[in-house]
Amino acid sequence: MVIGELIASWNFKVIIYLAAFIIIAVASGQIAEQFKKIKLPLITGFLIIGLLSGPELLGLIDREAINSLHFLNDIALAFIAFAVGSELYLKDLRSKIRSIVIMTVSQIFITFFLVSGCFYLLGSFLPFTSEMNTSALVAISLLAGTIAIARSPSSAIAIINELRARGPFTQKSIGVTVIIDFAVIILFAVIFTISKSMIKSAEFKIFYIIQVFAELLLAVGFGLLIWLLLRKFFSLTISANYKKLLVLSVGFLVYFVSSLIRNSAQDRLGVSLHIEPMLVCIIGSFLFTNYSEYKNDFIKIIKETGPLVYIVFFTLTGAMISVEVVISFWFVSLIIFGVRIISLIIASYTGSLITGDDPLCRKISWMPYITQAGVSVGLATIIANEYTEWGPQFAIIMISVIVLNQFIGPPLFKWSLHLVKESHLRPDGSYDAEKKVIIFGHESQSQALAQQLHNHNWNVIFSVMDPSNEMLKSEKYSIKNFTGTDIQSLRELEVHSADTIVCLLTDELNYEICETAYENCGTNHMIARLNDRKLYKEFHNLGVMIIEPNTAMVSLMEHFVRSPIATSLLLGMEENQDTMDIEINNPDFHGLTLRDLRLPNDVIILSVSRGEHPIISHGYTRLRKGDVITLVGCTQSLEEVQLKLDGT
C-alpha cells in the first residue's frame, strides 16, 4: 500500500469501524476472563468472541470493517514478533544450549516434513487445491508444514509462572519454544518467496535463490535499523506510555516500509521483493534485548502492552473465521492436528534420546510443545491476505488446528511439569513452602513470627515443652515435643534439613541447641535471643545471629531516625514491598555480571554475599553458583526473580 492509498483509506467510515471494534474488543477482554474459570486459555476466548461478532453470526463486524481494520493486524503481528525476540536472551540459555539446539533441529525437520506430507496427501479432498498442479500443491503443503512448527512462548511462560516451575526440563522447554519461533519466521520468509514461483507455475530459475538471500540480507539490515531506532527512542526521557506508542508505531512502520519496497520493486523492476516484516521485528527485538542497556524497560513494556494487543489481534482474527469452512473441513483439521501430535512425539523422543535425557523425560518430552498462538495465527493470516482466492480457506483450516492445540496443549504442559516434579504448587493451588524453619519455644512473639513466615510460604515447625497447648493448635504449622539438646533429639526434629532455627528458650538451652546444630547438623542460619550479654562471644563464635531484647528496640528506633525509608522496606512496612535473600543455584547465572541480569524494573539489588562474607558489588561483579543476593522490590516481582535465579 503506497502513501496515497494509505491516506485515502483513512476516511470517516474507517474511524467509525475502529470505534465500534474498540467497544467489541473491550467486551471481548471482559468476557474471555470467564474462560479461565473453565481452564481454557484467554486467546481461545478472544477467538470465540471474534467468531460470534463476525459477519456470519451476529454481524457486529462486517467484511468491509475487517478489510478496513487490516492495519491493526499489522501492528499486532509486529508486536508479537517483538515479544518473541525479547524472550531470546542468550545469557539465560547458556547451560542448556546444546540440548536446546538438538531438540529444536529435531522438531523442525520431523514436524515440517510429516505435516507437509500429510497436507499434500489431503490436497485431493480440498476444493481449493484439488484442481491445482503438483507444484502449487507442494508449495501450499510446505507453507502448512511451516505453520505447524510454530509454538507459543507467551502461553509457555504463563504456565511456568502459574506453576512456579523451575528446573532443567522447564528451562529446556522454554528455550526450545522461543528458538523455534525465531527459526520458523526465517523458514517462512524463505518458503514464502519460493512458493510464489511454484504456485504461479513459473519456471524455476537460479534468480529465485539469489532473491531469497537478498531478502534475508535486507531483513537483517532493516532489523539493525530497528534496533538503533529502538535504542534512540528508549534513551528519551519520556513517560512509559509514550514509549509504548512508539514501540507499536515502529512495528507498523516496518510493515509500511516493507509494503512500500515491495510495490516499488514490482513497479520499477518487475520483481516481487518480499521483506518479511515479522523477521525484521524479531531481529530488531533480539538485538535490542541482548545488546542494549534499556532491555529491562523494553521487556516491561512488552509485558504491559501484550494483553491489550492480544485482545485486538485474536478478536479480529476470530471475526475472519468462516463457520461454513470450519464445518466443511473439520475432518482435515482433525487429521492435521493428529499428525502434528505424532510428529512432536517422534521428534521430541529422538531429541531427548540424543541428549541423554532420563526415560521419564523422553516419554513426556513432547508435551510442552503442543500449544500454538500468535506467530502461527499471524503466518496463517499473512497467507490469507497474499492469496485471496484460496488463502482464507487455508488459513481457517490452520487456525482450527491451532485452536485444537490451544485446548489440549496447556493441560498437557502442566501435567508434564508435575510429572518431573518441577511444579511448586500444592494440589489446592497454593504455593509449596520453599524453606523450613524450626522455632524453639512458644510465646506471643514466636506465634507472631510463625504467622509472618507462613504468609511468606515457609514451613514452620514449633518445638515446645508442652505440645498439647491449645494455643498451638493450627493447620499453619507443625508441633513437635522438645526432648533435649543432644544430637539424637535434634535429628528427631529434623534440624539437619531446616534452613533456619530460631531459639527463644533460656540462654543455656539456646547455646546447647546452637552448639549441637553447628557441630552436627550444618544448619544454614541460627538465630537466638540473648538475655545475658556476657554470653555474646560464645554465641558469636558459633555464627549465631543474636537478638538482644534490651538493645533491639533502641537500635530499631535509631535506624528509623537515620534511614526511615530503608528501615520501613526491610521491615516490610511498605505496601506490596518486601526484601528477599536468593541463593544462585541456576548454573546459567554462574559467571554472569550483575548488569546482565534481566531484573524487573521494581527490583533492586541491595547486596551480594559469598560464603559468609558480603562482597563489594557493582555492575561488573560476576556471580558464582552459591552466592546469595539480597533484593528489594514488589512481592510478585521478587517471586519471579526467585524462580529464575534459584532454578535447579
pLDDT in tens, 26-79: 888 888 777 767 766 677 788 788 888 888 788 888 888 887 887 888 888 888
User: Is residue 186 within 8 Å of 290, Cβ to Cβ?
Assistant: no
Q: Which residues contact 568 (CB under 8 A, 6 or more apart)?
A: 560, 574
Determine the Cα–Cα distance for residues 576 and 612; give it in Å rounded to an integer. 29
**CATH assignment of 563-645?**
3.30.70.1450
| pLDDT average, residue stretch 572-587 | 70
pLDDT of residue 208: 65
**CATH assignment of 74-419?**
1.20.1530.20
pLDDT of residue 297: 83
| pLDDT average, residue stretch 425-434 | 51
Determine the Cα–Cα distance for residues 460 and 462; give it in Å rounded to an integer. 7
pLDDT of residue 302: 85
CATH class of 435-554: alpha beta
Give the residue, 251 or 9, on which the prediction is more confident.
251
Which of 333, 317, 323, 329 is CA-nearest to residue 384? Answer: 317
Q: Which of 221-230, 353-362, 397-406, 456-465 has the highest mean pLDDT?
A: 221-230
Which of 464, 609, 441, 622 is CA-nearest to residue 525? Answer: 609
- Residue 450 clears pLDDT 70, i.e. is over it: yes
pLDDT of residue 215: 78
pLDDT of residue 427: 47
Q: Which residues contact 482 (CB under 8 A, 6 or more apart)?
A: 440, 463, 464, 465, 489, 493
Determine the Cα–Cα distance for residues 130 and 135; give it in Å rounded to an integer. 12
Q: What is the mean pLDDT of the chain?
A: 79
Rg (CA), the chain: 29
Which of 512, 634, 493 is CA-nearest to residue 577? Answer: 634
Please state the domain extents for the chain. Answer: 74-419, 435-554, 563-645
Determine the Cα–Cα distance for residues 431 and 471; give it in Å rounded to an integer. 25
> Residue 648 — pLDDT band, cuts 50, 70, 90?
low
Question: 489 — alpha (psi -120 to 50), left (phi > 0) or beta?
Answer: alpha
